Amino acid sequence: MGQRVLVVVFALLVCLLGTVVYGNVNGSVEEFKLIGNTGSTTSNIVIMQRESLMYSLEVERWLAQTSTRRDVQIRRALLAQRLQARDSTGVANGERTHPEYFETLRQLDAAVDTSPAGFLPSALSSKLRVSLRGNLDQFTFEARELVGRISRAGDEQTKEIISAENDRRSFQGLVVLIILLVISLVSIYLATSRLKDFKVMRRGIADERAVLASTRGELNRVEHALSERIEEQKIDENQAKHLDASIRELNKKFRMDREASLVVGDLAKGLGDALKAEAVLFYSFNKILAPNYLLSGEAPETKHLDGSMLTRLESGVVQLVTDLWTKGAVDVMDDTANIQPDNTTLPLLLRESAKRVRSWLIVPMGEGSNVLGYISLAMVSGPRKWTLREIAMVQAVVANAATALVHRYALAQNVQIAEHEAVVKRLLELDKAKDDFIANVNHELRTPLTSIIGYVEMALEDASLESNPNLEKSLQTIERNAFRLQTLIEDMLELARLEANFLPATLEPVDIVNLVESVAKLLAPFSTGSGVEVAVTHRGRCFEVMGDSGQIEQVLTNLMSNAVKFTPKRGLVSIEVSETEKAVQITVADTGVGIPAGEIDSVFERFFRASTATEALIPGTGLGLSIVKQIVEGHGGTITFVSEVGVGTTFTVTLPRHQEPAPIVAEDVVGSRKA
Amino acid sequence: MTTSGHVNQTIVVADDDVDICDLVEMLLSRLGFRVLTAHDGRTALSLIIDEKPCLAILDVMMPVMDGFEVVRALRSQPEATATKIILFSAKSRGGDTAFMKEQHVDDYIAKPFSPANLTQRVLDLLDVEGDPQDGGN
């Protein structure tokens, strides 16, 4: 841009210079014309005067020399010829010649013509010479005057012109000088800027030349690499068939029904054979899926990679292999000779390996996001180039092996699950058989007992017994023991049933106070007969719990009948029902025989009977409290007791309150109960 | 106890255990009922349909047809609706009460039972129906 402006400026200056120079030349021509014209007039006069003068002098000389007419005639002819000649301005010489001169000539001619001898008389000659001289003198004076005047006038005019001309020329010269200077400066500037451009250009060229050189180098390298690659490819192609065949064979072995150790062994051996690796190491991070480690190959130098060392290095190796697995990469070392001695970034395992092994290929093994381990192929005798095809192949094989291992594990898990399921099924069948057995025993035991009790009772009604007290006593004994047997059967079956399924059979709102009162009513004949007072009190408003009313009734029956049973005459059994925020609490307190402190831990054991009870010959099966505990806990409740021998025992049962229904429903329940 | 108050009333007793069947028969005969016995469910059902007794006392576990099946068959026969039914069973202690209600059985007595309790409940059941000849107690 700047350059373009400069070029335009330069062109303009050249134009200006041209204009000035042309104007100068033009002006000069005009001036010269003017001067020429003036000069011509002046010089013509001067020439004319000088011609005349010259001619007069010639004539005078001629007169002095002339001797014959013929000479005179010749000279006159010549003179006439000369006088008739015209100058550049078209004026004849004769016209400019002084008139006196011509008069003299005429006289001369006449004298010569009249002379008989043809010689000019000396008298005449002298006379003529004198007159001529006079003419000449006058003429010369006039001429001198004229010339002087003209030359003076001419000098002044010339001086003026020259001065003006000089002024003009000096101004023009200055302008031209300035223009030339500016042109020079512009030229210099342009030249320097061009020079700068040139330098830049030259540097650019140098750079490009360098780039070109490096590109050429790169190209060479790439070409080299390419040719190597092509070579490699050729070798690959040759190996490909062999490899593919080996791999196909190998992959066939990775079935999920094979033992993990066999899969791993095949993997290591197969890869070692296919790739002609001198040592193959398999290492598993997952001891469940596969054997810990396996070293295949003959190279003794690799024996340092034993299990203990691997275990020692495992954390670092796990990190290395996990990184590889995450990136989908492998660790390739063609030649350990290329490792820089100060390379500390190499993981410890690899540094250890580098001491003995020349070349390796480490491929991580995994499934999904889980890294299972790795397989490492190593060369000891020398370096080895691991080709991309080989690496890809190893990766593919390792992936297949991993899948096989994982599937095998999953299969094993499934087998285990199936086994567990079979066990559970068998247990359920056994449970069912037990239930059936219980139901059977239940029926089979009760049926004969029904007959025994029924017939004994009927027999005892017979009036004839009054005459046979022994028979009556026998029948009563049978009846009492039948009842005992019945109780024992009931308790045993109930306990067995609870153990099979101790959870409540049904869940319904159960009002504890109602239940306590009805049980107390049922027990009334028995307690009255024993002379024991039963008192039921309750504090609170809502005594509903969620549960199986039959089971809870049994809890209350067992606790309350026990209390009555173990309480001597005139004793007191007091049952209190109270509510807490989240539970309904039932305390059954008696003034009975009590339980010795040493036996407290055994109270809820099956068939346990307190020594105080056996000593007092109080009958029982030792199953009642065990049943109570099972039911209470099955309902999410608790049972505790305090006891003192000779003072009495207090059982406290807590059952979670029924809080399920909304208040309106609860009111409805209360209302219906009142109704 | 009276021995003649219920001669016109027939009761069918069915139990595969002959001893129990005999026991119940003896107990109720003493009260003056006409007692017919069966040892399997199908015979019991035929007896009930033929004789239209005022009451049938059925054991639950019986061969051929069990007590429940007999009840279901009876309840589907309009002519047998007048017959009251008491189930008794050694199967469990008061466990089938819900079923009893569902099946519209009138009472349920668990084995082993007390003869006095059985007769009392039979009489109660029949007396509720307004039997004018109350021979109970």
Per-residue tokens: A405: 């291992």
Q: Which of B20, B62, B66 to mutate to test the interface with A (most CBs of A within 10 A)?
A: B20
B20/A446 touch (CB, cutoff 8 Å), yes or no: no
pTM for the model stands at: 0.40
- Mean pLDDT over A26-43 rounds to 46
Residue A664 pLDDT: 42
SS3 at position A253: helix
* Whole-number Å distance between alpha carbons of A95 and A84: 9
- C-alpha A76: how far from chain center: 129
Cα distances from A570 to residues A427, A557, A573, in angstroms, run 52, 21, 10
Instruction: Give residue-wise pLDDT tens across range A139-168.
Output: 667 767 766 776 677 678 778 878 887 888
* Per-residue DSSP letter, A88: T
Q: Are B106 and B97 within 8 A, CB to CB?
A: no
A450/B115 touch (CB, cutoff 8 Å), yes or no: no
For residue A479, the chain B residue with the least C-alpha distance is B114
Q: How would residue A39 be classed by pLDDT, with cut points 50, 70 and 90?
A: very low
A451/B26 touch (CB, cutoff 8 Å), yes or no: no
Q: Which of A435, A450, A451, A515 to mutate to test the interface with B (most CBs of B within 10 A)?
A: A450
Half-sphere exposure of residue B10: CA atoms within 13 angstroms, side-chain side: 12
A446/B111 touch (CB, cutoff 8 Å), yes or no: yes
- Residue A341: pLDDT over 90: no
Instruction: Give residue-wise pLDDT tens across range A275-310.
Output: 888 888 888 887 666 666 677 766 666 665 666 666
Residue A370 pLDDT: 83
Q: Which of A447, A487, A489 to mutate to test the interface with B (most CBs of B within 10 A)?
A: A447
Q: Hey, is the C-beta of A574 within 8 angstroms of any chain B C-beta? A: no
Q: Side by side, which strands form the sheet with B84-89?
A: B34-38, B10-14, B55-59, B84-89, B107-110
* Whole-number Å distance between alpha carbons of A48 and A61: 20
Per-residue tokens: A588: 């059954």
Q: How would residue B129 be classed by pLDDT, with cut points 50, 70 and 90?
A: very low
Top pLDDT among A115 and A324 is at A324
Residue A474 has a CB neighbour count (10 Å cut-off) of: 13
Residue B87 pLDDT: 87
Please list, in sequence order, all residues whose beta carbon lies within 8 angstroms of the beta carbon of residue A585, skipping any fewer than 6 positions away.
Answer: A577, A578, A579, A652, A653, A654
B17/A443 touch (CB, cutoff 8 Å), yes or no: no
- Mean pLDDT over A542-551 rounds to 85
B93/A450 touch (CB, cutoff 8 Å), yes or no: no
Q: How would residue A21 be classed by pLDDT, with cut points 50, 70 and 90?
A: low
Residue A35's identity, in one-letter code, is I
* Whole-number Å distance between alpha carbons of A491 and A38: 174
* Whole-number Å distance between alpha carbons of A637 and A635: 5
Instruction: Give residue-wise pLDDT tens across range A350-390.
Output: 767 777 778 888 889 888 888 888 888 888 888 888 888 78
Residue A182 pLDDT: 87
Among the partner-chain residues A446, A457, A494, the one whose CB lies closest to the CB of B90 is A446
A–B interface: beta-carbon pairs under 8 A: 54
Residue A396 has a CB neighbour count (10 Å cut-off) of: 13
Task: Give the closest-approach CA distance of B112 to chain A in angstroms.
Answer: 4
- Residue B130: pLDDT over 50: no
Q: How would residue B56 be classed by pLDDT, with cut points 50, 70 and 90?
A: very high
Percentage of chain A surpassing pLDDT 70? 72
A457/B114 touch (CB, cutoff 8 Å), yes or no: yes
Among the partner-chain residues B19, B90, B115, the one whose CB lies closest to the CB of A443 is B90
* Whole-number Å distance between alpha carbons of A490 and A554: 11
Helices and strands of chain A, counted as H and E runs: 15, 12
Top pLDDT among A407 and A95 is at A407
Angle at B124 between CA B123 and CA B125, to 5 degrees: 90
A454/B95 touch (CB, cutoff 8 Å), yes or no: no
Q: How would residue A117 be classed by pLDDT, with cut points 50, 70 and 90?
A: low
Top pLDDT among A99 and A320 is at A320
Residue A665 pLDDT: 39
- Residue B93: pLDDT over 80: no
Top pLDDT among A194 and A365 is at A365
For the purposes of burial, counting CB atoms within 10 Å of the CB of A165, is it exposed (0-12), middle (13-18) or buried (19 or more)?
Answer: middle
Top pLDDT among B37 and A99 is at B37
Q: Hey, is the C-beta of A544 within 8 angstroms of any chain B C-beta? A: no
| ipTM of the complex in this document | 0.73
Chain position carrying tokens 């335009």: A8
Q: Side by side, which strands form the sheet with A331-333?
A: A293-297, A279-284, A370-379, A359-367, A331-333
Task: Give the closest-approach CA distance of B90 to chain A in angstroms.
Answer: 5
Top pLDDT among A235 and A206 is at A206
Q: How would residue A579 be classed by pLDDT, with cut points 50, 70 and 90?
A: confident
Q: Which of B1, B16, B18, B19 to mutate to test the interface with A (most CBs of A within 10 A)?
A: B19
SS3 at position A307: helix
Q: How would residue A100 be classed by pLDDT, with cut points 50, 70 and 90?
A: low
What residues of chain B have any CB closer than 8 angstroms to a CB in chain A? 17, 19-20, 23, 26-27, 61, 90-95, 111-116
Instruction: Give residue-wise pLDDT tens across range A223-236.
Output: 888 888 787 777 76
- Please choose, from the candidates A589, A604, A586, the residue with its C-alpha nearest in 3D space to the C-alpha of residue A644: A589
Please list, in sequence order, all residues whose beta carbon lies within 8 angstroms of the beta carbon of residue B126, skipping any fewer than 6 positions away.
Answer: B6, B9, B54, B55, B84
- Residue B101: pLDDT over 80: no
A450/B114 touch (CB, cutoff 8 Å), yes or no: no
> With contacts defined as CB-CB under 8 Å, which chain A residues touch B57?
none
